[in-house]
Amino acid sequence: MVMTQPILEMEGISKAFPGVQALKDVDLTCEPGEVHALAGENGAGKSTLMKILAGAYVHDEGAIRLKGKEVSFDSTKEAQENGISIIYQEFNLMPEFNIAENIFLGREPRHSGWMLDTAQMIRKAKELLGRLGLDLDVKTKAKYLTVSQQQLVEVAKALAFNADLLIMDEPSSAISIKETVLLFRIIEALKREGKGIIYISHRLEEIFEIADRITVLKDGRLVGTVRTGDVTKVEVVNMMVGRSFEEVFPASKKGDKKEILFLENVSRAGVLKDIHLKVYSGEILGLAGLVGSGRTELARVIFGVDRYDSGRISMSGKPVPPPTIRDSIDRGIGFVTEDRKKEGFIHNQPVRVNLTLPILHRFQTWGFLDRSKEERICQDSIEQFDIAVSGMEQEIQYLSGGNQQKVVLAKWLNANPKLIIMDEPTRGIDVGAKSEIYHLMRQLTEKGTGILMISSELPEIIGMSDRIAVMSEGAIMGELSPAEASEERIMMMATGESNQASEG
CA 113 to CA 108: how far, in whole Å? 10
* Whether residue 430 is found in the same domain as residue 300: yes
Q: Is the pTM of this model over 0.75?
A: no
Q: Is the residue at 1 inside a domain?
A: no
* Whether residue 360 is found in the same domain as residue 215: no
CA 76 to CA 55: how far, in whole Å? 4
* Whether residue 492 is found in the same domain as residue 366: no
Q: Is the residue at 124 inside a domain?
A: no
C-alpha 7: how far from its chain's center?
A: 29
* Whether residue 76 is found in the same domain as residue 167: yes
Helix 118-131, helix 147-159: angle, nearest 10: 110
Q: Is the residue at 102 inside a domain?
A: no
Q: Which of 416, 451, 474 is the last residue of a domain?
A: 416
Q: Is the residue at 85 inside a domain?
A: yes
pLDDT value at residue 471? 94
* Whether residue 473 is found in the same domain as residue 353: no
CATH for 265: 3.40.50.300
Q: Is the residue at 268 inside a domain?
A: yes
Beta bridge partners of 259: 280
Q: Which of 399, 416, 433 is the last residue of a domain?
A: 416
* Whether residue 57 is found in the same domain as residue 192: yes
pLDDT tens figures, 382-433: 888 788 888 888 888 888 777 888 888 888 888 788 999 999 888 767 777 7
- b/e 152-183 (16+ beta carbons within 10 angstroms → b): bbbbbbbbbbebbbbbbbbbbbbbbbebbebb
Q: Is the residue at 68 inside a domain?
A: yes
Q: Which of 416, 441, 464 is the last residue of a domain?
A: 416
Query: Which domain, by its residues, includes 499?
Result: 258-332+417-504
Q: Number of folded domains in the chain?
A: 3
pLDDT tens figures, 103-155: 988 778 887 767 888 998 999 999 888 877 778 899 999 888 877 778 788 88
* Whether residue 162 is found in the same domain as residue 87: yes
pLDDT value at residue 244? 56
Mean pLDDT of the chain: 86
Q: Is the residue at 30 inside a domain?
A: yes
Give the model's confidence band at 91: pLDDT under 50 very low, under 70 low, under 90 confident, else very high.
low
| Beta strand spans in 95-254 (E) | 110-111, 115-116, 165-169, 196-200, 213-218, 221-227
pLDDT tens figures, 188-225: 988 998 999 999 987 888 899 999 999 999 889 999 99
* Whether residue 471 is found in the same domain as residue 501: yes
Strands 272-280, 8-17: pairing kind:
unpaired
CA 30 to CA 49: how far, in whole Å? 14
The average pLDDT across 241-247 equals 60
* Whether residue 70 is found in the same domain as residue 192: yes
Q: How far is CA 72 from CA 66, 68, 78, 156, 320, in A?
A: 10, 13, 9, 26, 64
Contact yes or no for 96/169 (Cβ under 8 A)? no
* Whether residue 403 is found in the same domain as residue 477: no
Q: Is the residue at 249 inside a domain?
A: no
* Whether residue 262 is found in the same domain as residue 399: no
Strands 467-472, 61-66: pairing kind:
unpaired
Q: Find, among 392, 389, 412, the residue nearest to 402 by Cα.
A: 389
* Whether residue 69 is found in the same domain as residue 199: yes
